[in-house]
Amino acid sequence: MALHHEGFDAEMLVEPGVSTHTFDASSERIIFDSESMRRTTSMVDGTGIRGTRTRHYGRITAGNYSVAGDIVFRPGQTEINNWLPRILFGTESTDDFPFADDIPDASYFGVLIDKGGDIHQYNDCVVSRATFSASAGQALVVRLEIVGKTETLPSWPGSPPAVFAAAEDSLPILMSSGTLTLGGNTYYFEDFECVIDNMIDVQFRNSASAVALVPQDRMVTLRCNMDYQDTNVLYGAETAIAGTLDFVPVTDQHVTFTFPKLIAPKETPVVTGKTAIMNNITFTAYGDDYTDYTDNELYITNDLTGS
């Protein structure tokens, strides 16, 4: 008798747009490392004071439920192209992906996961927070923190997309293909983390499930871990500098993070032992006087053709 299901057997599909989501051969198959998507119900306790410390089950009822969780994966350029409009909310302009303040319908999506028991579908999802990170010798990792409105338990589609279609644009993006430029100077770096927080407010009003997902603000940070000897010029420079982080996963094809204005507080490096003394700097990204999307905190270029 099988007591459990193995994680390798799990499958995940994404369908772009608002519900109703129709999953079929045209849906996106996500090759993921882990996920924590779930429905969580709050239980309302109405026991009150009744002459005993015992809480009676008859005064407990299900309240609102939320839909949220993370998806972690190592994308290629094709996956980057699919996800950037859902993370930044803007419309691609000649390989450049900008921010937008409002969430268009195209940035919503549905998620379908075969977890080995039931099939779980999460509807009208958005990316609340996205983290891009990599360390020496490893591939770029994306962690998406997702919120949605409802969960349903449908069937797996009869004709899902292929399990894997080999393509150069789906190769993992290696840290070794990256170049970091800060204030006009290029630096070696041990690891990095770029966080895009859309600060989504989940609103319920008089509903048991979410009725609106509203972006309240936005915060973008870039953390870079570099050798202090090489980056001492950055120590104490509490003024805005420009920065880029450029990956070349395939010859002449680029994934580039462009930050017009980065500011970091003065934070003294520390000596942790006999190993290299590192300068682990966390910048906050800011916008410039606005003329177009290139003046926002960040825009990302994903060049799939090498043009």
- Give per-residue pLDDT as tens, 218-274: 999 999 999 998 777 787 668 899 999 999 999 999 999 999 999 999 888 999 999
- The pLDDT value recorded for residue 170 is 82
pLDDT value of position 230? 73
Closest-CA residue to 44 (of 28, 24, 65, 29): 65
Q: What is the pLDDT of residues 40-89, one digit of tens each?
A: 999 999 888 989 999 999 999 999 999 999 999 999 999 999 999 999 99
Query: Which structure tokens are listed for 91?
Result: 């419309």
126-166 confidence digits (pLDDT tens): 999 999 999 999 999 999 999 999 999 999 999 998 876 56
Supply the mean pLDDT for the chain: 93
119 Cβ contact list (under 8 Å, min separation 6): 112, 113, 153, 154, 155, 156
Exposed e or buried b for every residue in 13-43, given b needs 16+ CB within 10 A?
Answer: bbbbebbebebeeebbbbebeebebebeeee
Instruction: Name the residue with tokens 């302009």.
Output: 93
In this structure, the number of other CB atoms found within 10 A of the CB of residue 226 comes to 22
What is the pLDDT at residue 3? 63
- The token duo for 159 is 């004709």
The pLDDT value recorded for residue 167 is 65
pLDDT (0 to 100) of residue 201 = 97
Q: What is the pLDDT of residue 238?
A: 81
